[in-house]
Homo-oligomer: A and B are copies of this chain.
């Protein structure tokens, strides 16, 4: 659930099942660890919270990046390097989001010094008594590039094993120029012959560690490029790997917006419809399924009696599903919805992303009184308020039921529009609302 494809044509291709995993680890036959420098101050965002700690769907960006590494089974240890000020914050993030393979290290005054501190955690005895075992290959990656995928991690790792050093590159978006001291154009570089050096990069551990041990204070204070250190001090020319556009670095506020939209887009791809076994609800469920399928990548239906635990639900999908629609006939009075909320609560599904549950209620009779309507409204509101505490966003949808097939299809089509809007926006401000079609 970490990927953010940039291709218009295939907005979600990286949600496909991972190809490497344990198989890749076997093929690699080496130990791999990662260092994520996260000491930046966020100056380019105009001050305030450093960008690695800005929330994306109410979870800090760095947790999304750590998650991308934890999904890769063959990366053994993940060292996160933060400034002293942020040690407690990072500890609480690790605990709240259940990151289990992370070791926290205090950073230095610059990026290179922070990375060096991260590498030391594998090579030196630490005062706190812990020492991680030294990996053969170490991956270095920015905490603010959350959409890194297993494919590029695998490529830089194998290249580092072969060549000693490796890094992801991208074509330049803008022409690069050199300026004269008085602020005029000196010359412009030929765009085709240059590349942007991105992350991840990977190194034989001994090579990059030796490079850091040998490099000057000037390098540590003003340098930016690990590949350069490996070249300068260990004479290793890095292998360059063409990466996907997903590797971009969250630098400006607009990048936070983009990150949130990409993740919302990914979350939109799977929907699970849960119905009881009454004729009306099943009929509406089938119609919803049919119409939603034209807009969402994967739609599955399940009977509420089978919805005993969330593994039942998740096993139907190739990736985790974060959107649920419960269809109840009018009389059910939220028992069905409460049941789904309880099942969702019993798992850790909503720890990482807000889960949406749309509680659909059919109006079978025209004779509903205003008081029963008021009761209904307060019912969904109370339920939603409780569920929100566990990151489950509940919305209601009242739908006119009719035996007239044409009219019913029209109603369900309108309902699908509303449901899609709710799932797309994931707006906390609208939880507990009972919408009507």
Contacts and interface: CB of A to CB of B under 8 A. Distances in A.
Interface stretch (A101-109, A236-244, A301-309, A344-352): A236-244
Interface in A242-276: 245, 248-249, 251-255, 257-262, 265
Interface in A177-210: 177-180, 183-189, 191-198
Contact of A253 (B6, B178, B184): B6
Interface stretch (A7-15, A133-141, A311-319): A7-15
Contact of A176 (B9, B42, B196, B248): B196
Interface in A204-231: 222, 224-225, 227-228, 231
Contacts of A418: 429-430, 433
A8 B49 contact: yes
Contacts of A195: 176-179
Interface in A349-381: 368-370, 373, 377
B188 A176 contact: no
A262 B255 CA distance: 10
A194 B177 contact: yes
Interface residues of A, number: 89
A434 interface: yes
Contacts of A6: 44-46, 252-254
A96 interface: no
Contacts of A198: 174
A47 interface: yes
Interface stretch (A32-40, A69-77, A419-427): A419-427
Interface in A407-437: 417-418, 420-422, 424-425, 427-430, 433-436
A173 interface: yes
A225 B262 contact: no
A228 B173 contact: no
A227 B191 CA distance: 14
A336 interface: no
Contact of A231 (B42, B185, B417, B424): B185
Contacts of A240: 177, 179, 183-185
Contacts of A178: 193-195
Copies of this chain, count: 2
A18 B224 CA distance: 39
A262 B257 CA distance: 8
Given A254-B258, A257-B258, A421-B430, A237 B197 contact: no
A167 interface: yes
Nearest to A185: B238
B177 A11 contact: no
If over half of A's interface residues share one DSSP class (helix, strand or loop), that class is named, otherwise mixed; here it is: mixed
A277 interface: no
Contacts of A405: none
A433 B433 CA distance: 10
Nearest to A13: B46
Given A46-B9, A427-B425, A435-B430, A4 B254 contact: yes
A38 to B, nearest CB: 17
B196 A174 contact: yes
Contacts of A424: 427, 429
A45 B7 CA distance: 5
A330 to B, nearest CB: 13
25 contacts: A6-B45, A6-B252, A7-B45, A7-B46, A8-B42, A163-B184, A167-B185, A175-B228, A176-B189, A176-B194, A177-B194, A177-B196, A189-B194, A248-B252, A248-B254, A254-B259, A257-B262, A368-B370, A377-B436, A421-B425, A421-B428, A421-B430, A425-B427, A433-B433, A435-B435
Interface of A: 4-11, 42, 44-49, 163, 165, 167, 169-170, 172-180, 183-189, 191-198, 222, 224-225, 227-228, 231, 237-240, 245, 248-249, 251-255, 257-262, 265, 368-370, 373, 377, 417-418, 420-422, 424-425, 427-430, 433-436
Given A174-B249, A176-B194, 4 more contacts: A177-B195, A184-B237, A184-B239, A417-B429
Listed from nearest, the 6 A-B pairs whose CB atoms lie closest are A421-B429, A7-B46, A257-B261, A254-B258, A174-B196, A258-B258
